[in-house]
Amino acid sequence: MRFFFHFGRYLLLLRQLFKKPENQRMYWDELFRQMVSIGINSLGIVIIISVFMGAVTTVQTAYQLVSGLVSKSIIGAIVSDSSILELGPTITSLVLAGKIGSSIASEIGTMRVTEQIDALEIMGVNAAGYLISPKILAAIITIPMLIILAISLSIGGGIFVGDLTGILSSQQFIEGARSSFLPFNVAFSLTKAFTFAFIISSVSAYQGYYTQGGSLEVGQASTRAVVFSCILILLSDYLLAQLLL
């Protein structure tokens, strides 16, 4: 019963987001601020994780698969396909759920416990639309871009480590990547990216918006936002793979 209660309240919260904003200029200002907070401020962690993700996958693939009977170019095929289909969108989204999700939940939760949201509602402002809509839209715009960057850097990290360690040359890596490349894989990866972006932003906003209590409850809401976002990302990852692949 608690699941249906929270799911129903979550849907009702999403319905409030479609109301026309009272001040569109403030809405767009908030949208660009959130794009900077969610997108640009996450570049560092995405770059570090992506490069090492591709590097580690290359080394481990070489350790497990390469023999005298297997061409080294197969490493490029495995690393590139893994980066596009799973490592880029899923691992990056799990990391962003920790960074972005906790930030959204704690920001909105703090506004709730300090009665700032109540003040907005008393003034006739659609608080949910003003506080949550820009965050969801900013996440849907910026997180897929971050995932595209993560995929590119993961493949680039694999190429660099392959050349650096002598496992395989960049030409062999690119040859393997080209041999297994399918445009549908990119479309599937972007589908997951948009889905994960919506999950991270909306679930975290929901946890923060309905926070009650004080600073302790804000911390608990932030933790729940990260945990639930990660669980839903993994669940939707499986469902999308089952439906589309």
pLDDT at residue number 235:
94
Q: How far apart are CA 62 and CA 16, in angstroms?
A: 51
| 208 token code pair | 């923060």
| 85 token code pair | 């289909």
> Nearest-CA neighbor of 63 among 135, 196, 165?
165
Domain boundaries, the chain: 23-244
- What string of H, E and C letters represents the secondary structure of the chain? CHHHHHHHHHHHHHHHCCCCCCCHHHHHHHHHHHHHHHCHHHHHHHHHHHHHHHHHHHHHHHHHHCCCCCCCHHHHHHHHHHHHHHHHHHHHHHHHHHHHHHHHHHHHHHHHHCCHHHHHHHCCCCHHHHHHHHHHHHHHHHHHHHHHHHHHHHHHHHHHHHHHHCCCCHHHHHHHHHHHCCHHHHHHHHHHHHHHHHHHHHHHHHHHHCCCCCHHHHHHHHHHHHHHHHHHHHHHHHHHHHHHC
pTM score of the predicted model: 0.89
Note down pLDDT in tens along the chain; length 245 residues.
788 888 888 888 888 887 776 667 778 888 899 999 999 999 999 999 999 999 999 988 888 876 666 778 888 899 999 999 988 899 999 999 999 999 999 999 999 998 888 888 888 778 888 889 999 999 999 999 999 999 999 999 999 998 888 888 889 889 888 888 889 999 999 999 999 999 999 999 999 999 888 888 899 999 999 999 999 999 999 999 998 87
Please name the residue that has the structure tokens 């599937």.
Answer: 188
pLDDT at residue number 192:
94
